[in-house]
Amino acid sequence: MQRIVPKLSTTKSCIKILRNYSSIEPYRPIIDPKPCDVFINHRGVDTKGNVSGLLYDRLSKMGINTFLDKKSMGPGDKLSDEIETGIRNCRVAIAVFSPRYGESYYCLHELALIMECKKRLVPIFWNVQPSGLKIKNTKKYSKCEINRFNWALEEARQTIGIRFDSTKGSIEPYRPIIDPKPYDVFINHRGVDTKGNVSGLLYDRLSKMGIHTFLDKKSMGPGDKLSEEIETGIRNCQVAIAVFSPRYRESYYCLHELALIMECKKRLVPIFWNVQPSGLKIKNTKKYSKCEINRFNWALEEARQTIGIRFDSTKG
């Protein structure tokens, strides 16, 4: 005999079956159809009791629908789902960067999501310098996460915002340092050998002559990414000066920069400082791939075949 199973597909049917039980009532989830105007990304332990909480209260009193994690959530809400929805639906995001911000995976993940969603961002640097925004405890993240978080932090550094120091009670606008003018000269050098002498002297003299010169950290502002700034400096320069010194060949970065100069077909002026052109050979080849060795050897040979200057500081 075939068993007939009644279809109980509606809420009314369920209520009818359970009507003999006390304290039963329909359940309707609380849904806020209105997207938030502002999402506040912050490190709670640093700022919820001060700047972030104050921002939330003031904006809310102004009638601006603002999301601040637990203040905007009800019982049973899933934190990750609510936060992601808040970011995706907001109009503007405020990122409150604080001393312990870089320790939090959740802060960094939210910031990256804000950037990926291309939301308008207002960064507030609260008791922290933009250049001090760095990921802490990188060992607990994958390479993909580190790249994603670094990209998001760099995008924030390059955004106009507010800088606030609570110890001094000072507040001021923050504008990233951007130099749109391409460099006339790029100086490729080994800092440990030459920044305190020949390379530093070249930079100072050329700058005084009105020649726009790039010498890594001397030409960079807070928040700049070293590798990106150097590559931009090389690609946009008119002339490159390569200062070859005794420890030049030990540095991957020196060799990589030289190779990029050659690949970009920049006009090169080689300076052989306390080193013979024939002595320019890669050191510690085991740490490089075959492709890198071939690239660096080619760049060094091109430099050897270029007219330049030889200088021996021991003989003056």
C-alpha to C-alpha distance for 52 and 67, rounded to whole angstroms: 11
pTM confidence score? 0.49
pLDDT for residue 226:
59
**CA pseudo-torsion sign 110, 113, 115, 121:** negative
Interior/surface letters 16-37, b for 16+ CB within 10 angstroms, e for the rest: eeeeeeeeeeeeeeeeeeeebb
pLDDT for residue 15:
53
> For the chain, which domains are there?
38-174 (3.40.50.10140), 185-311 (3.40.50.10140)
Lowest pLDDT segment from 51-65, 84-98, 217-231, 276-290: 217-231
Q: What is the mean pLDDT of the chain?
A: 83
What average pLDDT does the segment 224-239 reach? 79
**CA pseudo-torsion sign 153, 175, 121, 71:** positive
Kindly tell me if the per-residue pLDDT of 50 is higher than 80: yes
Kindly tell me if the per-residue pLDDT of 107 is higher than 90: yes
What average pLDDT does the segment 27-49 reach? 77
According to DSSP, the β-strands at 213-214 and 66-67 are unpaired
Q: What is the DSSP letter of 272?
A: E
Kindly tell me if the per-residue pLDDT of 60 is higher than 80: yes
Kindly tell me if the per-residue pLDDT of 30 is higher than 80: no
What average pLDDT does the segment 107-121 reach? 94
Tell me which of 84, 229, 250, 257 is the catalytic residue. 257
Determine whether 175 is exposed, middle or buried from the number of CB atoms within 10 Å of its CB (0-12, 13-18, 19+). Answer: exposed
Kindly tell me if the per-residue pLDDT of 74 is higher than 50: no
What average pLDDT does the segment 302-316 reach? 89
Give whole-number Cα distances, 221 to 78, 210, 288, in Å: 41, 19, 31
pLDDT for residue 158:
84
C-alpha to C-alpha distance for 244 and 19, rounded to whole angstroms: 89
pLDDT for residue 17:
53
Kindly tell me if the per-residue pLDDT of 267 is higher than 70: yes
- Maximum distance among all alpha carbons in the chain? 111
Q: Examine the residue annotation and report whether 292 is marked as an active-site residue of this protein.
A: no
More confident residue, 150 or 15: 150
Kindly tell me if the per-residue pLDDT of 75 is higher than 90: no
Q: Predicted confidence band at 223 (pLDDT cuts at 50, 70, 90)?
A: very low
